[in-house]
Chains A and B, each alone.
Chain A
Amino acid sequence: MITIQNLHFHYKKGRPLFEGLNLELEAGHVYGLLGKNGAGKSSLLKQIAGLLFPRLGTCKVMGYESRLRQPSFLSNLFLVPEEFYLPQVSIDRYVKTYAPFYPNFDEKAFQQYLDEFQVPRNQKLTEMSYGQKKKVIISFGLATNTKCLIMDEPTNGLDIPSKSQFRKVIAAAVNEEKCIVISTHQVRDLDNLIDNIVVIDNHKIIFKQDVETVTERLSFRSVKQLEDAENVVFSESSVLGHAVITENAGGTPGRLDMELLFNAVLEPSGRINQLF
């Protein structure tokens, strides 16, 4: 679905953002793109959407070179940007003018998503709060039924109940033909939502694994003292003692602590990566 090969990109010469970045994302998955501030998460999503062009290398989505921004490519890709624009019209008018560009737009599904988010259909976009507008654009993006759905920090501006609603609607929208990429620095928002983790750091993809493999090989738990745990791969002090990642000797998948994994992946020793 998304193939990025040898991507080089910089905003200013001498300050590379991506250097030889390679990434392959498949349909039927929800990818969580994680990284520190300034690691290039949004820039990578923009490369995928064709808003930024590779200085070297290629970025292909569904076989299309994204930088060409061809209509047949754009009608199968929807980006929910962190800073988004909605015209000063009613929801109905918005749907009437934008939906014709997306041949698979599902009006019924759009209404269902709005209902799930508890956004009244008859309200004008100008009268809505930032969070409500975000729910509208997320609902619209999902209802377009594009093969590729990209969301940049979608949970920013959503309150706690809305984050739970967000997880619900995304889970309902996943299918075998769709590739969903969600970028966030609030990793806990993606708990139980994504099935693949992609970590970007130091100009490259440094970690890419599916959640099942991670939980089969690693165990996440809390211990009062570090000595209580064996084969500790990574640990962090917490209020209750220590949050640790250990090798999963039994191989039975357990729960995943995304934040802990993220911190472990970014650790300079790179011990986590050696296990994959």
Chain B
Amino acid sequence: MQTSNVFHAPRFGAYFKKHIVDNLRLYLMSMVVLVGVLIAIGLIGVFTTSKREIIDANFVFPFYGILLFGAGLIFAGFSFIQLGDKSRGIDYLLLPASHLEKFLTTLLITTVGFLLVYHIAFSAATFIGAGIVSLSRGKHTINGYFPDDLKNDMTQLYHWWFMAQGIILLGSAYFPKYSVIKTLFAVFIIVLLIGIVNIAFMSILFHGHLMHWAASAPFFGVAIVEHQQVETYRSVFLESPKWMRDVLYFFWRFILPPALWVLAYFRLKDKEI
């Protein structure tokens, strides 16, 4: 029976297994380093704040967020590192699995796999760190209460994380070497260009009425001055319509990350060595 050239579950399983076997040592080492870094940063945070008696979610959350981005994006930046090396790239591209299977493996490992490992590492680090603090102070120091406002912050954090992960993954497909730095530079250039185009458009549309030449936020609004001839003039921030902001927000959260993944997949398909 002819197997599918796009997706074949046993082949995908074999490829996934191969990927894990090839990278197992690296992943285990990374996990140990991650736990160590988390414990070290957490302990420094606790012991350098003399007044801190209780370790609660509000204290842990910033560490959680910063390291989620830091570690996750560096990890995603290594997604297609093999394509930066001729011999490894040939091995990768000529292994008899489909581009989709290879891409899905990378995507799963850098999203589901990473989040799973990160949470295990973070939980382990929190309990080990809190245990050390409790022992040193001779009392229980963990407050397990999780405030509702943090739950909303967590949701926002994950939306931003998936968007950033998608950007870095796409960047890794374009720049296999030093992908994080190159991608961040490319993002900076793109944001700068959007800003410049926005300033130019706003200057044309609101000529003479802008509060300041840079007083506008792309897609969100512009600050203008009313009654300029009167000494007590006032500035007004004109917001873009709510429906438009909602559409953009939806696009940002739910369309952009998968769109970036799709672009990365097609980049992989078109890769030449």
Footprint of B on A, CB under 8 Å? 46, 49-53, 69-72, 74-75, 77-79, 81, 83-85, 87-89, 93, 97-98, 100-102
Asked if B17 CB lies within 8 Å of chain A CBs, one says: yes
Quick one: closest A residue to B10, CB to CB? A100
Q: Quick check: is B184 within 8 A (CB to CB) of the other chain?
A: no
Which of A52, A69, A72: most chain B CB closer than 10 A? A69
B88 touches A85 (CB 8 A): yes
For residue B40, give the distance in angstroms from its CB to the closest CB of chain A.
29
Q: Give which listed residue, B18, B91, B96, B101, contacts A102 with CB less than 8 A.
A: B96
Q: Are A71 and B86 in contact (CB under 8 A)?
A: no
Complex contact B87–A81 (CB within 8 A): yes
> Contact check: which of A52, A70, A72, A84 meets B91 at CB < 8 Å?
A84
Query: Which of B2, B94, B272 has the most chain A CB atoms closer than 10 A to its own CB?
Result: B94
- A74 contacts B96, C-beta separation under 8 Å: yes
Contacting pair B90 A84 (CB below 8 A): yes
- 1/0 per position for B1-32, CB-CB distance to A under 8 A? 01101001001001101100110010000000
For B86, the closest partner residue in chain A by CB is A83
What number of residue pairs across chains A and B have CB atoms under 8 A from each other? 74
Q: Bound complex: CA of A74 vs CA of B15, how far in Å?
A: 14
Whether A71 pairs with B18 at a CB distance below 8 angstroms is no
* Given A51-B273, A97-B22, A74:B95 Cβ within 8 A: yes
Residue of A51, A88, A89, A101 touching B90 (CB-CB under 8 A): A51
Is B142 an interface position by the 8 A CB rule? Answer: no
Bound Cα distance from A72 to B2, whole angstroms: 8
Give every chain B residue within 8 A of A75 (Cβ-Cβ): 96
Interface positions of B from 81 to 132, Cβ below 8 Å from A: 85-88, 90-91, 93-99, 101
Of all chain B residues, the one with the shortest Cβ separation from A74 is: B96
What are 7 A-B pairs at a CB distance below 8 A?
A50-B94, A74-B95, A85-B88, A88-B25, A93-B21, A97-B14, A98-B18
- A51–B98 contact, CB under 8 A? no
For the complex with contacts A71-B11, A97-B14, A102-B96, 10 further pairs of A-B residues with Cβ separation under 8 Å are A49-B94, A52-B272, A71-B98, A74-B96, A84-B87, A84-B90, A85-B85, A85-B88, A101-B14, A101-B96
A100→B14 contact, CB < 8 A: yes
- Taking the closest CB of chain B, its distance from the CB of A193, in whole angstroms, is 24
Complex contact B90–A71 (CB within 8 A)? no
Of B86, B88, B97, the residue contacting A101 (CB under 8 A) is B97
Q: How far is the CA of A81 from the CA of B85 in the complex (A)?
A: 13
CA distance A50 to B94 in the complex (A): 8
